[in-house]
Amino acid sequence: MKKTVFLYLIFVMVFLFSCSSAPKNQGDINTLRSQAEGWLKAGNSEAGQGKFTNALTILTEAKRNAILADDLSLIIRICFSRGNVLLSLGRTNEAFAEWNQAISDANKSGNSELISVSRIFLARGNLLSARADAQTVLNEVNRESANIKTNKLYIAFSWQAKGLALRALGSFQQAEDAFRRSLEIHEKEKNLENVSYDWYTIASIRSLSGNTQGALQALESSIKIDRRIENSWGLAASYRAMGDVYSKTNRQSDAAIAYRRAASIYRAMGNEHEASETEKRIKND
């Protein structure tokens, strides 16, 4: 199965303030923070649907509100998502600027978990953009993940990053084990978009290791979740991956069915580019 950057966890504004020393009342601060949290959730949702341009616009507003509230923790989380979206848009240098800002702000906060998860975001970005070799990334993730003990989703993210590095190293069983650790957490937390992503990546690991049937079963699990949460982008990606797995084993009829299913979803989403790219795989079989 062809590797695909499928990211769910998916976002520098400069402001001039008046010289007034009057503090904001607590209601104003809660309003700003609440608005930023809402924008972050909406931006991540748009990114999960593959609507990266919309996601970036929404996350820019989220970051503006977080900065106005001077909430470092929230700013950092938004930087994580903005980095993911910018990387998906091919704006790599801007993506790394977001992750580096997250590290800088985390250091200011003194929160060891935020510092380490920020460094893991950067390490994973280095892996996905080929700025660092997989072993270097794995060493970084192993070192930093030891500091993440309380936030379950950060722990799961660390396992994902480990799994990606292990996959790149060809350590397929260890890579799947890492993603299963992530999957276990996401299922308990009912974080269904990440459950889908975990199964999707397990499928890629199994395909690379030659376990075709296992890869197809993992993709079926991913599709089942994406149907439940109506994640059209995830459905299209999984059907296209299924086509790749079938094609790899010369089951061209099954591959064509999966590719056409993926293309129809992409087209219904208004993504003609991905629909056309998927259909090209049918012609080339």
Tens-place pLDDT, residues 62-116 = 999 999 999 999 999 999 999 999 999 999 999 999 999 999 999 999 999 999 9
Nearest to 175, CA basis, from 191, 195, 193, 198: 198
Instruction: Give CA–CA dist 189/71, Å, rounded.
Output: 25
Instruction: Give CA–CA dist 250/254, Å, rounded.
Output: 9
Q: Range of 41's domain?
A: 1-10+28-109
pLDDT at 170 over 50: yes
Q: What is the pLDDT of residues 119-134, one digit of tens each?
A: 999 999 999 999 999 9
Q: How many other C-beta atoms are found inside a 10 Å radius of the C-beta of residue 189?
A: 13
Which of 63, 79, 109 delimits the end of a domain?
109
Q: How many other C-beta atoms are found inside a 10 Å radius of the C-beta of residue 230?
A: 9
- 140 Rama sector, left if φ>0, alpha if ψ -120 to 50, beta otherwise: alpha
Which of 79, 109, 139 delimits the end of a domain?
109
User: Which residue type does 282 have?
Assistant: I
CATH of the domain at 244: 1.25.40.10
Residue 245 lies in a domain: yes
Q: How many separate domains does the chain show?
A: 3
DSSP result, 234-253: HHHHHHHHHHHHHHHTT-HH
**What's the token pair of residue 15?**
């402001």
Nearest to 48, CA basis, from 269, 239, 280, 273: 269
285 versus 239: the higher-pLDDT residue is 239
Q: What is the pLDDT of residues 263-285, one digit of tens each?
A: 999 999 888 999 999 999 996 54
Residue 182 lies in a domain: no
pLDDT at 9 over 90: no
Residue 17 lies in a domain: no
What is the pLDDT at residue 49? 80
Residues 81 and 3 in one domain: yes
Q: What is the pTM of this model?
A: 0.86
What is the pLDDT at residue 264? 97
Nearest to 138, CA basis, from 111, 175, 88, 173: 175
Residues 204 and 259 in one domain: yes
Residues 153 and 223 in one domain: no
Residue 228 lies in a domain: yes
Residues 6+ apart with CB under 8 A from 273: none
